Structure 1
């Protein structure tokens, strides 16, 4: 069965909005950090991270991967 916004309960709607806002905040934080960090402190091409972070629908996994693996200490 295909779910539409109208068919969701108010609790389900709030959950969708909350998860979407959290993912957007994580992506924004990763992009801000990426823009301020020199390329020498980034694992992999900085341009690739900059393109992938906002475009890949990752359920928050790509921003987490950037913070855990993509940055050099």
Structure 2
């Protein structure tokens, strides 16, 4: 079984890809948590604390909250 490469063994392109994916994850999580904090509990589908915990699941958590966790009201 092959061992994983360390950070120093990765190519520059691979390092940039990892850094950009990490930045995208952090940005999504920031947007989701900020929206969750500012949104009243009545406008959130489910528990705010569970949605906050779910945002720590890479990519899926913040996207799930933004797509399904917010109650949309038609004005």
TM-score by length of 2: 0.86
Structure 2 segments unaligned to the other structure (5+ residues): none
Q: Which runs of 5+ in 1 are unaligned?
A: none
Aligned residues: 70
Greater CA radius of gyration, 1 or 2?
2
Q: 1:68 aligned to 2:36?
A: no
Question: Runs of 4 or more off by more than 3 Å in structure 1?
Answer: none
What is the SS of the residue equivalent to 1:28? helix
Please point out which of 11, 20, 23 is paired with 2:22.
20
Point out the structure with the larger helix share. 1
Q: Would you say the 8 A contact 2:41–2:48 is kept in 1?
A: yes
1-10 or 20-29, which moves further after superposition?
1-10
Higher relative contact order (CA 8 A, sep 6+): 1
